[in-house]
Amino acid sequence: MTGGGELAIIILSLKVAATAMVVTLPFAFFVAYALARWRFRGRGLLQAVTTLPLVLPPVVTGYALLVLFGANGPLGWLFRETIGLEFAFRWTGAALAASVMAFPLLVRPIRLSLEAIDPGLEEAAETLGASRLRILATVTLPLALPGVLAGVILGFAKALGEFGATITFVSNIPGQTRTLSLAIYSFLQSPTGDAAALRLIGFSVFLAIVAIIGSEWIATRLSRNGKSRNG
Amino acid sequence: MAEIDVDVAVQAGEFTLEAAFEAGPGICAIFGQSGAGKSTLLRSVAGLVAPQRGRIEIGEEVILDTDEGICVPARERRVGYVFQDDRLFPHMSVQRNIAYGARGAAQPEASEAEQVVAMLGIADLLDRYPATLSGGERKRVAIARALLSQPRILLMDEPLASLDHARRERIMPYLERIRSETRIPILYVSHEIDEIARLADTLVILSQGRVVASGRTPALFARTDLGAWLGQNGGGVLLRGIFRHFDPEYRMIEVDLDGYTLHLIGPDDERDLPEPGTNLRLRVHARDVAIALSPHGDLSVRNQMPLVIEYIEKVDNAYSIIHGLIGLQPLRSRITRKTVDDLGLHAGMTVYALIKSAAFDRRLVREQHGSRKIHAWRSGSQDD
């Protein structure tokens, strides 16, 4: 029951959450940008689909992933055959589940911060000869940074603690898919696991506090950068 | 030769803009009430609005021709756009802001950047962030950023509108400097007749999306049918004179006006004095011109010039406007009808126009036309 030890569980959880963030962020930014800036057919649908994982029971999301990305699922088959990536009962599956669950939490703050940017600034950059890519890199992205960071911190916390979709999709396999929440749950089920569960709970609380302090620090740094700074 | 040749039709919802005009070098003011289409016109020159039909030429280069299917994208038009709301990048220092457009092919010489920074007086601001700047400072930084992107044309959208009177007075000389020290044509949107009288070489009057009149500013100010736009009585006229001499003891200057000598108050800062021989533009309000039948040596009014009355216009029961000529230049005087009758004024009569020195605008405005180039920093040391 205690396979891998607590340190291995923590490292696995961090790996899963970090991978989830790296993979999701570009998609989330693109979707947030599309929702904030473009008026297109199906915009309402995209918005609904984006919010779906937030309101669906996580077990349902996990089941949907199982059907689509499982060993016999169409997308699961596609990934296996094309790039040799397998999700079923692997840590990659846990990362995928975490990505999907964290997605709405990333999109929302990014979209809000994009909507707060004065489109006039992008126009000004255009008249100054900047290409679309340069405008994105030098104006849009830096100004949306507070939203991006807020989204990443929220999403990372969600990915670390994700339970329902993960256990439904890739089960609870020590060393592969047994992340923090799943491990705590397992230890609590076992008559001898209370001490280990407590240690992991302690670590979760510690991580949460670090995340909050970190996000506060980033927020104050960013707002100071934008406002008063005399030469 | 026209520097700017514009003919566009823009349809935006209910609003239609159809404007055609051309302008020479210097400042071309687009004048009109809000909603007249001034900003839309500027945005279509910049390429931020796509006209349904049109042709725009800036200094030999066609940047839009819907018949030929030419539409240069905004980022390749090389317009220096000074927005009404500045639009400085809040996350960049002043230094990075003004360097934003100055890269690649548009990289100016380091000395040129220094000159622009010095001309606009922003050297001390380079490390600051936009949020810490005052309105006037922000405006100067926005102008520097536009200038340093090596523009073919400067587009200024009410650059002084958001500033109070004192700041306006401080920015105006910078605009005059740009006009005299660079060769970049400027489209200048404004609804302030005072700014236009002072700055504009050519003027386009826009009303409800259409051009009411366009041409050289003094010529338009001399016209009597544009009163509804240029101000009925107070509008006054623009005179052209040649700067002769500065007397530092009394801070007075002498200006030659078609052979007559005018005495005016000199500028606050002697550095703003033009070289002798420079053409100056002087604005005189009709209400500031008094009429006498003969010259008087015992009056405090220094400027007394013969005026030939062309005709007398009745404004209302109380006032008349005397339209006359000093030499070949039109001048107007607003006096009471009672005075007209008491003095027996009539068309064809020669009288004396009395103008107090203080009635002239304190700032000296150089006429672009026929004036010597002070120095052309854009093309290095050309005609020293």
Report how many domains make up chain A: 1
This prediction has a pTM of 0.76
Residues within 8 A of B (CB atoms), A 4-43 only = none
Q: Residue B237, SS3?
A: strand
Question: Is domain B4-224 annotated with CATH 3.40.50.300?
Answer: yes
**Shortest distance, CA A102 to any CA of chain B (angstroms):** 29
Verify whether the Cβ–Cβ distance A229 to B89 is below 8 Å: no
Task: Answer yes or no: are the C-beta atoms of B382 and B255 closer than 8 Å.
Answer: no
- CA separation for the pair A138, A116 (Å, rounded): 16
Task: Give pLDDT tens digits for A126-173.
Answer: 999 999 999 999 999 999 998 898 899 989 988 998 999 999 999 999
Report the 3 state secondary structure along chain A: CCCCHHHHHHHHHHHHHHHHHHHHHHHHHHHHHHHHHCCCCCHHHHHHHHHHHHHCCHHHHHHHHHHHHCCCCHHHHHHHHHHCCCCCCCHHHHHHHHHHHHHHHHHHHHHHHHHCCCHHHHHHHHHCCCCHHHHHHHHHHHHHHHHHHHHHHHHHHHHHHCCHHHHHHHCCCCCCCCCHHHHHHHHHHCCCCHHHHHHHHHHHHHHHHHHHHHHHHHHHHHHHHHCCCCC
- CA separation for the pair A46, A107 (Å, rounded): 12
Q: What is the pLDDT of residue B178?
A: 83
* Maximal C-alpha separation, chain A: 69
Nearest to B90 among A125, A129, A226 (CB): A226
Q: What is the pLDDT of residue B367?
A: 65
Q: Which strands, in side-by-side order, build the sheet including B237-247?
A: B260-265, B252-257, B237-247, B279-284, B365-366
Q: What is the pLDDT of residue B374?
A: 34
Task: Give pLDDT tens digits for A27-45.
Answer: 999 999 999 988 889 899 9
Residue of A122, A126, A128, A224 to mutate, interface with B, max B Cβ within 10 Å: A128
Instruction: Give ∠ CA A122-B154-B134 in degrees, rounded to 5.
Output: 65
**Shortest distance, CA B151 to any CA of chain A (angstroms):** 9
Residue of B39, B44, B75, B143 to mutate, interface with A, max A Cβ within 10 Å: B75
Verify whether the Cβ–Cβ distance B126 to A138 is below 8 Å: no
Of all residues in chain A, the one with the smallest CA distance to B104 is A129
Nearest to B78 among A129, A228, A229 (CB): A129
Task: Answer yes or no: are the C-beta atoms of B262 and B245 closer than 8 Å.
Answer: no
Q: What is the CATH code for B237-366?
A: 2.40.50.100
- CA separation for the pair A222, A228 (Å, rounded): 11
Task: Give pLDDT tens digits for B219-256.
Answer: 888 777 777 777 654 457 888 888 888 888 888 888 99
Q: What is the pLDDT of residue A224?
A: 60
Task: Give pLDDT tens digits for A42-79.
Answer: 899 999 999 999 999 999 999 999 999 998 889 999 99
Range of the domain at A219: 5-223
Would A82 be classed as within a structural domain? Answer: yes
Verify whether the Cβ–Cβ distance A228 to B131 is below 8 Å: yes
List CB contacts (< 8 A) between B89 and chain A: 121, 124-125, 138-139
- Number of Cβ pairs closer than 8 Å across A and B? 74
Which token pair is A195?
A: 């001490």
Verify whether the Cβ–Cβ distance A138 to B100 is below 8 Å: yes
Of all residues in chain B, the one with the smallest CA distance to A121 is B87
Residues within 8 A of B (CB atoms), A 121-160 only = 121, 123-131, 138-139, 142-143
Nearest to B100 among A120, A125, A131 (CB): A125
List CB contacts (< 8 A) between B46 and chain A: 127
Residues within 8 A of B (CB atoms), A 92-121 only = 118, 120-121
**Shortest distance, CA B131 to any CA of chain A (angstroms):** 5
Verify whether the Cβ–Cβ distance A226 to B83 is below 8 Å: no
- CA separation for the pair B101, A129 (Å, rounded): 6
CB atoms within 10 A of CB B24: 15
Of all residues in chain B, the one with the smallest CA distance to A128 is B101
- Going from N- to C-terminal start, the domains of chain B cover 4-224, 237-366
- CA separation for the pair A203, B274 (Å, rounded): 76
- CA separation for the pair B326, B201 (Å, rounded): 22
Which token pair is B52?
A: 């349904």
* Residue showing tokens 């945005």: B43
Would A168 be classed as within a structural domain? Answer: yes
CATH number for the domain including A81?
A: 1.10.3720.10
Query: Which contiguous run of DSSP H or E holds residue B193?
Result: helix B193-199
Verify whether the Cβ–Cβ distance B132 to A120 is below 8 Å: no
Q: What is the pLDDT of residue A229?
A: 39
Q: What is the pLDDT of residue B29?
A: 92
List CB contacts (< 8 A) between A125 and chain B: 89, 100
Beta bridge partners of B174: none
Verify whether the Cβ–Cβ distance A230 to B126 is below 8 Å: no
> Which residues does chain B have with pLDDT short of 50?
233-234, 369-384
Query: Would the pLDDT of A102 be above 50?
Result: yes
Q: For residue B303, how far is the Cα from the chain centroid?
A: 25
The CA dihedral of A132, A138, A142, A143, to the nearest 10 degrees, is -70
Which token pair is B124?
A: 């001390």
Rg over CA atoms, chain A: 20
Alpha carbon distances (Å) from B288 to A162, B197, B262, B337, B347: 81, 16, 15, 16, 20
Does this complex have an ipTM over 0.85? no
- End-to-end Cα, chain B, rounded Å: 24
Alpha carbon distances (Å) from B376 to B23, B116, B274, B380: 20, 12, 16, 6
Residue ranges of chain B whose CB lies within 8 Å of a chain A CB: 46-48, 74-81, 83, 85, 87, 89-91, 100-101, 103-104, 106, 126-129, 131-132, 145-146, 149
